[in-house]
Amino acid sequence: MIGFALKRILAAVPTILLVSIAVFLLIRSIPGDPAEIMLGEGADPASLAAFRAELGLDESMPVQFMRWAARVLHGDFGQSIFLHQPVAVLVWDRLQLSASIILVAVGIAAIIAVAAGLYAAWRQDRAGDIAVVTLATLGLSLPSFWIGLLLLLLFGIKLGWLPVVGYVAFSDDPGRAWQYLILPIVTLVVVEVGVLTRMARASAVEVLRLEYITHARAKGLSEWTVLFRHALPNAFAPTLTMVGIVVGSLLGGIAVVETVFTLPGLGRLIVEAIYARDYPVIQGCLLVIAVAYVLVNLVVDLLYPIFDPRIALE
Amino acid sequence: MSARPNSRSRIRLLAGGLLASAVLTMSVLAIFWTPLDPNRLDVLHRLNAPDVRNLFGTDEFGRDVLSRVMVGATTSLSVAMLTVIVAIAVGSTIGFLTGFFRGWTDRVVMILNDTLLAFPGILLALGLVAVTGPHAYATVLALAVAFTPKVMRVVRGTVLSLREREYIEASRAMGNGPLYTLARHIVPNAVAPIAVLATSMFGWAILMESALSFLGLGVPPPAATWGNMLATARPYLTSAPWLSVIPGILIATTLLSVNLLGDSLRDWLDPRM
């Protein structure tokens, strides 16, 4: 078990290294002088010259990468050209908002999905199953930004229950902050619950066919015990992997939801940085999101054996 | 009990097929004809609610929304189609060759591929658009780069499992060259998983193109796409809600049809599921 965990953790190191090289090369592939790209067109010649020396532009690419990586490891992601703040501070601030929305939404979606998936598998091919599958397929087909707009239209404008524009930080006023966060969270739940439910149902169907379930029923255990104590843990493992994938795709995809609800999150930051050609910020966001994605998958891999111990024995 | 999944599958195929042909017809029709000129400004008819003249109303410039969602269908479907073709062509070529011949090229390509897969797809697309700038072809490129590693992995995996089969050994023993064996015996057997993947990717491409366009980083205006129509609709949510409702219905309909067709395809090709 510990050997398995160590192996997975060590395997993530080269991935993170390669991901950083990819981000570095992507930003370097922008035509023009890298120093000017990173400091903005209005930078004065003296600081440009100093920054060129810091980047080591006369040295080979691997050396330049090492210098950059060394700065990143010290928490220096550079300075935003337009917001005049350290990129590390900006990204950290915005990440907290996006990450909390994503984690709460995916948590709720996963609970609903596992319950619905298990129920559907139990009622396989009956009315309840058909209803769950139909709803899940519908949910799978709804773009998040459209659901967001419709929810705003209904709860913000028609009913006037919730604010339509703006944001209050959770640290300033938790009570009011929730009013701004409910709709984005509901949007993400609606959009992601479909794919998770389908996954949960498919794995529950597989599990309910197995002999140990028949055996448990033959022992006279109640359906409730069979479903929740015997089927659920095994059926949950593949869904957990899907949860990791969903969290990762949301780290990138949350930009559209933050745009609809005018939330100052990480997704919004990267999109605005792309508009403004604020390359230090783009680079920082790409790196942080990609590394976060690798780490989320790592956590999922480490949790997996808890639900399916066979994995760790391989 | 056994008749039911069949009839469900048939209903899915029928519903998916009907919805898909409706969207497809609309997009092909829009190449030749739209009720009104989709780009003609008409300040006198700004933000008109749906009526006989403009079935889906007009936008903030008085342009006919029906005509715009029709040409938007052409744009979105072509971008998605092109993306899938490029990703499948590049990804399966690499996947077939590296999976079949193995060696150090395979190892290097796999490392590069895993690096690309370590990025969430939409993030990779955003990063590429940051370098290229928003453009219809940049969208195709960005999405194709995001999808190709997935194709490569699926194709390579399929090839790896196929190449150990006895009939492949038999083909070699008969003196067939490796390329002949690959083309004659491996490629045909990999078509099914590729077809299933292509269908889901078409749906992802529609969704991601509309998301990028919604963010102002996909197909730029004045060209109409469903995504950029929704982006400009946000300020008129109160005064002109149809601007937010109609393009979304079309995206959702298209995605639903793709998902239904994808499910039927999977049922048909892999009855175990």
Residue ranges and CATH numbers for the domains of chain B are: 4-31+47-269 (1.10.3720.10)
Please answer yes or no on whether B121 and A256 come within 8 Å at the CB atom. Answer: no
Higher pLDDT, A166 or B119: B119
Tell me which of A22-36, A279-293, B114-128 is least confident. A22-36
Instruction: Find, among B147, B140, B134, the residue nearest to A274 by Cα.
Output: B134
Confidence at residue A105, expressed as pLDDT on a 0 to 100 scale:
95
- For residues A111-125, give the mean pLDDT: 91
- Reported pTM: 0.89
Name the residue type at position B201. Answer: M
Confidence at residue A135, expressed as pLDDT on a 0 to 100 scale:
92
Q: Distance, in angstroms, between B236 CA and closest chain A CA? A: 10
DSSP A9-59: HHHHHHHHHHHHHHHHHHHHTSSS-HHHHHH-TT--HHHHHHHHHHHTTTS
Residue A281 confidence (pLDDT) above 80: yes
Confidence at residue B271, expressed as pLDDT on a 0 to 100 scale:
54
- For residues A215-222, give the mean pLDDT: 86
SS3 A272: helix
- For residues A35-62, give the mean pLDDT: 79
Confidence at residue B171, expressed as pLDDT on a 0 to 100 scale:
87
pLDDT lower than 50: segments of chain B:
1-3, 273
Q: Is A26 in the B-facing interface, judged by CB distances under 8 Å?
A: yes
pLDDT > 90: percent of chain A = 31
Cα(B86)–Cα(B10) distance, integer angstroms: 31
Confidence at residue B86, expressed as pLDDT on a 0 to 100 scale:
97
Chain A positions in Cβ-Cβ contact with residue B259 (cut-off 8 Å): 137, 140-141
Confidence at residue B4, expressed as pLDDT on a 0 to 100 scale:
52
CB contact at 8 A, A106 and A254: no
What the block records as the tokens of A60 is 């080979």
HSE (CB half, 13 Å, CA atoms) of A201? 28
Confidence at residue A279, expressed as pLDDT on a 0 to 100 scale:
86
Cα(A301)–Cα(A293) distance, integer angstroms: 12
- Average pLDDT score, chain A: 86
Q: Distance, in angstroms, between A150 CA and closest chain B CA? A: 7
- For residues A55-76, give the mean pLDDT: 83
Confidence at residue A151, expressed as pLDDT on a 0 to 100 scale:
92
Non-local CB neighbours of A74 within 8 Å, separated by 6+ positions: none
Pick from B115, B129, B132 the residue to mutate for testing the A interface (most A CBs within 10 Å).
B115
Tell me which of A89-93, A183-187, B266-270 is least confident. B266-270
Confidence at residue A313, expressed as pLDDT on a 0 to 100 scale:
61
CB contact at 8 A, B205 and B121: no
Residue A30 confidence (pLDDT) above 70: yes
Confidence at residue A312, expressed as pLDDT on a 0 to 100 scale:
66
Output the CATH code of domain A93-313. 1.10.3720.10
Cα(A201)–Cα(A234) distance, integer angstroms: 12
Confidence at residue B91, expressed as pLDDT on a 0 to 100 scale:
95
Q: Distance, in angstroms, between A292 CA and closest chain B CA? A: 10
